[in-house]
Chains A and B, each alone.
Chain A
Amino acid sequence: MNKLKYLALLVLGLGILFPFTYLVLLSFSGEWFFPEVLPGYFGLKNWKEILNSESGMGLSFISSLGISLLVATLGTGTGFIWSKSIAYHSQKETWLVLAYFPYMLSPVVLAACLNFFFLKSGLSGTWQGVVLGQYLVAFPYSVIFFQAFWNHRTRQFEQLVLTLGGSSRQAFVQVILPLAKGMILVCFFQTFLISWFEYGLTALVGVGKVQTLTVKVFLYIKEANFYYGAIACCFLVWPPVLLLYLNKRFVYNRLV
């Protein structure tokens, strides 16, 4: 029974690891045609080409990183503050239904609906437009995420600080922020991922001028260049894997 369990876990582990490993292998491969089991070439050629050429992979990586960090910072920060107002509002349920709206529509449909405004405001095809578009998805996520934090006990902590002679600001800085630290980091990580992997909305608002990594991946796939696509995927997948590890190691373990 134990052997069966071990085998099942092994298969599951390999199943999870396979796509990540396969991406790395594919990025080093070339001349791999059906029905060959192994690639005709295996080496650094693809990586050298893409790093030496003007493919813009490095720029895409920096764009993606910058946009995602900005969206995560803005989304988490403003979402945390607004979630408090919503949690204590008499019309809380109505506001929360509105917060779910971008997810009921899907981000790309939301972007299509708002495209006119992006065009009129001159934000279409700019990184600011992409940040705003992604923020419209990350912000409501953050608002919903923090609803669990603003509970009766948190309110009691705030009130206690007030009666101990503190101001609302002191309550926020000295008690609320330290209490919420773990959740803020998790939300930052989640909103970073929302932005990092976002494609439809980014392609629509960015109109090909803002080339994030996801846009780059789809570009290579459209060109049927799987090897370059795999390299772009490595850039896309491995930073979040690293973040996931750090998140699990330093944040999640302290929360549970």
Chain B
Amino acid sequence: MFLEIKQLSKSFQNDLIVDRLSLSLDQYRTLSILGKSGCGKTTLLKLIAGLETADQGSIRVNGEDMTGKTPAERKIVYLYQEDLLFPHLTVRGNIGFGLKLQKIPASDIKEQVDLMIQRLELQGQGDKMPHQLSGGQRQRVSFGRAIITNPRLLLLDEPFGSLDVGTRQRMQELFKELTALYGITSLFVTHDLKEAILMGDDIGLMKKGSLQVYLDKQDFLLDPLTGVRSEIEFWESLLKPNY
């Protein structure tokens, strides 16, 4: 398994946020994690990224133990719900930021950034500042900035939460295209049922710090705890005639 988490726990002031959580994920796959606010999704991602320290348990990526490694050493990029574009840098500067940190030659950075701008469908926007972009464009830049660094694992914390329905749908498609193209392994956290089903190759449900990963999507759809059944019943009730 590419990603293996075993018995991971984390408490904040006696509140158990992540409770002996275990999961495994193959390379180049996306695991979507569905969960309500406060269920521990964000804490789980921060533990994997090395932004929080686990009380117990282990995280292994490609067989390598992540314990004690700094976020930079892990090569795991964490994407927030907000795009967090650096306001003092252009689109080009933002996308190439991670490469610049790695001290890659400027000519190589330019080449890679130009290609990424094309793939993000942001031609002609490269020299704009973040405040000149729409919400969807900003989120695309944010994606590009993460993917261009070729992370071992990409962690997405409700990345489309602030987008309108149309933009959200386009971003979901773009995300799938790019992760397939760059061979990205990712954890996609969302509280949106439809998005969780659409985005994940595998799917899990997080509740009170515990995660249940389903065998397949059918298994997920049949579990009454996921809310799929009640959602289907709701839409069916609307379609039924009143007599």
Question: Which residue of A165, A175, A178 contacts B102 across the interface (Cβ within 8 Å)?
Answer: A165
Say yes or no for B197: interface residue by CB 8 A criterion.
Answer: no
Interface flag for A161 (CB, 8 Å)? yes
Looking at A120-128, A130-138, A152-160, A198-206, the stretch in contact with chain B turns out to be A152-160
Instruction: Check: A10 CB closer than 8 A to any chain B CB.
Output: no
> B86 touching A157 by the CB < 8 A rule?
yes
Is the pair B75, A162 in contact by a Cβ cutoff of 8 Å?
Answer: no
Q: Is the CB of B101 within 8 A of A163?
A: no
Contacts of B72 in A (CB 8 A): 162-163, 165-167
B70 touches A162 (CB 8 A): yes
A163 touches B77 (CB 8 A): yes
Residues of B within 8 A of A153 (CB): 82, 84
Residues of B within 8 A of A159 (CB): 49, 51, 71, 78
Instruction: List A residues 145-193 near B (Cβ within 8 Å).
Output: 153, 156-157, 159-167, 170, 174-175, 178-179, 181
Which one of B51, B75, B101 lies within 8 Å of A170 (CB-CB)? B101
Q: Indicate if the CB atoms of B87 and A163 lie closer than 8 Å.
A: no
B220 within 8 A of A: no
Contacts of B49 in A (CB 8 A): 159, 163
- Known contacts A159-B78, A170-B101; decide if A164 and B146 are in contact (CB<8 Å): yes
A161 and B101 within 8 A (CB): yes
Contact of B86 among A162, A167, A170, A175 (CB under 8 A): A175
Query: How distant is the Cα of A25 from the Cα of B145 in the complex, in angstroms?
Result: 61
B126 within 8 A of A: no
* Contact indicator A164/B88 (Cβ below 8 Å): no
Interface string of B58-74 (1 = CB under 8 A from A): 00000000000011101
**How many Å lie between the Cα of A119 and that of B98 in the bound state?**
54
Contacts of A160 in B (CB 8 A): 78, 80, 84
Q: Which residue of A lies closest to B70 (CB)?
A: A162
Determine the chain A residues whose CB is within 8 A of the CB of B149 once the complex forms. 164-165
A162, B72: Cα distance in complex, Å: 5
Q: Is the CB of A179 within 8 A of B102?
A: no
- Name A166's closest neighbour in chain B (CB-CB): B101
B97 at the binding interface (Cβ < 8 Å): yes
Interface residue B109 (Cβ < 8 Å from any Cβ of A): no
Tell me the minimal C-beta distance from A121 to chain B in angstroms: 42
Chain B residues in the interface with A (C-beta under 8 A): 49-51, 70-72, 74-78, 80, 82, 84, 86-88, 97-98, 100-102, 145-146, 149
A-B pairs, top 7 by smallest CB distance, nearest first, are A162-B71, A164-B98, A178-B88, A166-B101, A163-B78, A163-B71, A165-B72
Given A162-B72, A164-B77, A179-B88, 8 more pairs with CB closer than 8 A = A156-B80, A156-B82, A161-B101, A162-B51, A163-B72, A164-B101, A165-B101, A175-B86
A-B contact pairs, 12 of them (CB 8 A): A153-B84, A159-B78, A161-B101, A162-B51, A163-B74, A163-B76, A164-B145, A165-B75, A166-B72, A174-B100, A175-B86, A178-B86
